[in-house]
A and B are shown apart, each in its own frame.
Chain A
Amino acid sequence: MNSMAPSGAPRAPKIVARNVTKTYPTLAGSITALDDFSLDVAEGEFVCIVGPSGCGKSTFLRMLAGLEEISSGTIEIRPGSDPGKPLNSVVFQEYAIFPWKSVIENVAFGLRMRGIGHRERHETARYWLDRVGLGKFADYYPHQISGGMKQRVSIIRALANDPEVLLMDEPLGALDAQTRVVLQEELLRIWEETRKTVVYITHSLDEAVLLGDRVILMSAQPGRRLATFEIDLPRPRSIDAMNTPRFAEYRAGIWDQLSSEVIRAMELQQ
């Protein structure tokens, strides 16, 4: 496993996770969700984590976000030069945008929590809304817009917060196939422009290969790191990259290892 710095010049690691383990106590003894998981993510790197359901990838992301306790091991997100910036912002699978706030207030939420004034935070929110073509919907409430639009709002809520690290937990998982492709394309475009450090959890191999600099494959419960794939497709990428033979090779290579894990996970669940 070649876990360290990706191809090209070695960059300073932004996220350092060492021997992270997560166990849940139950009456029948403790269950290990994640076992001895280590990961370095370089500044400006896009890392995708794939694995069968129940492999602890979402748990890991929540631990990165500080939303869940770590049983043992360490996780560190190195702050940048600007101490006012939040360390991480999460894009949740179920959108998690607040139904009681209008679209623009949702986008400005993180800024508001940090005490940024009304005018400034609304300017920032408007900039992002325009950027994903939601300018017209600023004053709508979430129940008035479609699923794809909701997830756009959720994504730009994180981007408007301008975090050191963007953590995305299957952000496109709940969308239909066509909306998904559109949003993948949009994500690529925004990422090429911002070059944020991203940890991206997904079920979809296509998505992982299309978006990621690196794809981490995890095993079924308990979650362990199984393999790492460097995705050496040229940037900037677009959805067309999916039609190249290289893409298919990567995809087949990952599926080769993943399929046996998926079957094992299905057997575990029975």
Chain B
Amino acid sequence: MTEVAAKPVPVSTEPVPRSASQAADRRAILILAAAIVALNAVLAFVGLWIPFAWLAILASFVLVVMICERLGRMVPLRRRTAYERALAFGFPALVLLLWQFSAQMGLINPTWFPPPTRILAGLWDMTVRYDKFSQTSLIGRPWLIPEYFGRDGLAGVWTLLSESHVLATISRVMIGFVLGSIPGILLGVVMGVNQTVRLMLDTTLSAIYVLPKIAIFPIVMLIFADPFGEGPKILVVALAVFILMTINTMAGVRGIDRVYLMAGRNYGANGWQMMRHVIVPGAMPVIFAGLRIALGTAMIVIISVEFLRAKQGVGFITFYYWEVLNPEKMYAGLLVVMMLGVVLTYLLQWLQRRMMPWQR
């Protein structure tokens, strides 16, 4: 790296006109690109690439950043959005490409780090496959809906939907999320408004908050008549969301500028009007920030619960394929979890725009 990159780029002392500085940038990009290739090639050639892999990767990354910064300077203003999007999607694509390449070249162990194409193939296989033994499929084979509907009507559609891992996970998360967040927000508002309740509960909540919810799962199971059913799974999600939302809403209510409370009172709002017109909307930004975090927590909790004890669900198949030593499909399961996270986050953002139109 040093040999090529250290070569000084000729710089003139007089002020450089715009086109000239662009030309300099272009030259620099070429040199930097050459430096990346040279650095890695030389290391590989001497057989030192693998022991110094982390250094090589770090240096290459820095060089890529330098190239992109110069590219960014050359991008005209109206192309700016396109450039930013290209960076945001292009870089992960580059990483995947390198992963693919190094797995195929045997630089990393393809058994444990299968190349992305094989993960995708695994995902495709999981999607179309119906497991007769457990009577499940990944997304419930929607292409069979017309056939099943024609045969058994809505009951047939229900059979298909209830065999889906994805739907099982989504419904647990959503039901738990709603059951946890609504009481959480209510209690949070009460704690934000009333000092006595706050003093009585705050410490306890902080204590429960740090408790890993998976650790109380066994106790939660005991509460239910059917410890292996949906009840405990949903409740443990709801519990995690509840604690988080209580703490966040309380912070949101307490953070409302005093002047809004004074204005509300001075303009004659009674208790209920204060709630509806001042306190709840005032705390709304923090409540939504809390919902966002709670969604992540809910996903963590449900996946770990499904790892632990479930016959269906994305967490279950992920763990199952790890147990049967099928890493492609294990990665595919993780991929599905991530996609679920993205979709649910988008849903939440949509809800936020609907509920808080004043924030653009």
Contacts and interface: CB of A to CB of B under 8 A. Distances in A.
B278 A98 contact: yes
A141 B357 CA distance: 9
A62 B266 CA distance: 10
Q: Which of B259, B269, B356 has the most CB of A within 10 A?
A: B259
A interface bracket (residues with beta carbon within 8 Å of B): 20 to 34
B281 interface: yes
A99 interface: yes
A21 interface: no
Contacts of B356: 100
A78 to B, nearest CB: 18
A67 interface: yes
B358 A141 contact: yes
A102 to B, nearest CB: 8
Interface in A102-121: 102, 109-110, 112-114
Contacts, number: 60
B262 interface: yes
Contacts of A114: 268
Contacts of B263: 90, 92, 96-98
A92 B281 CA distance: 20
Interface string A146-159: 00000000000100
B333 to A, nearest CB: 41
Q: Which of A102, A113, A161 has the most CB of B within 10 A?
A: A113
A97 B260 CA distance: 7
Nearest to A67: B262
Given A94-B259, A96-B259, A98-B281, A88 B266 contact: yes
B interface bracket (residues with beta carbon within 8 Å of A): 20 to 34
A161 B358 contact: no
A66 B265 CA distance: 9
Contacts of B281: 98, 100-101
B259 A101 contact: no
Interface in A26-70: 62, 65-67
A89 interface: yes
Given A86-B268, A99-B358, A62 B277 contact: no
A113 B259 contact: no
A89 B265 contact: no
B267 interface: yes
Contacts of A88: 266
B180 interface: no
A110 B268 contact: yes
Contact of A67 (B257, B266, B273, B357): B266
Interface string A124-145: 0000000000000000011100
Contacts of A90: 262-263, 266
A93 to B, nearest CB: 8
B259 A92 contact: yes
A113 B358 contact: no
Nearest to A154: B263
B274 to A, nearest CB: 9
Contact of A100 (B262, B266, B273, B358): B358
A121 B319 CA distance: 61
A102 B359 CA distance: 11
Given A98-B263, A113-B277, 16 more contacts: A62-B262, A65-B262, A65-B266, A67-B265, A89-B266, A94-B257, A94-B259, A96-B262, A96-B263, A98-B260, A100-B282, A101-B358, A110-B267, A112-B277, A113-B270, A161-B267
Interface of B: 257, 259-260, 262-263, 265-270, 273, 277-278, 281-282, 284, 356-358
Give 5 closest A-B pairs by Cβ, nearest first: A100-B281, A110-B267, A113-B268, A96-B263, A96-B259
